[in-house]
Amino acid sequence: MGDGIKGNLKMTSISVLVILVLITILQNTDPVVTSILWVDIEMPRALLLFMTFAIGFGSGYAFFFWRQKTGRSDSEEEVVIE
């Protein structure tokens, strides 16, 4: 019984997320110009939002696993007593 409720909640959450993403994309189709150094790039605002999200998510994901690989956490900093 618990698996059915969890499955329905998961499917409902995914559906709501997909609907919100579609609404965001459909409302942000107008082109914007983005300047990166000396290059001007024209693209839809939705693509710019997605690229920004993907870069941020990927960076956070990579940093998390890099910290796991080193085996060190913020609480394990070295204490130097002089």
- Span 9-57, pLDDT tens digits: 888 988 998 898 888 888 888 999 989 899 999 999 988 888 888 898 8
Pull the structure tokens for residue 64: 């998390």
pLDDT at 78: 59
pTM beyond 0.85: no
Distance CA 26, CA 46 (A): 8
Pull the structure tokens for residue 6: 């969890």
Phi, psi of 81 (to 5 degrees): -110, 125
Whether the per-residue pLDDT at 69 is higher than 90: the answer is no
Sequence spans of domains, the chain: 2-71
pLDDT at 39: 92
Mean pLDDT throughout 71-82?
61
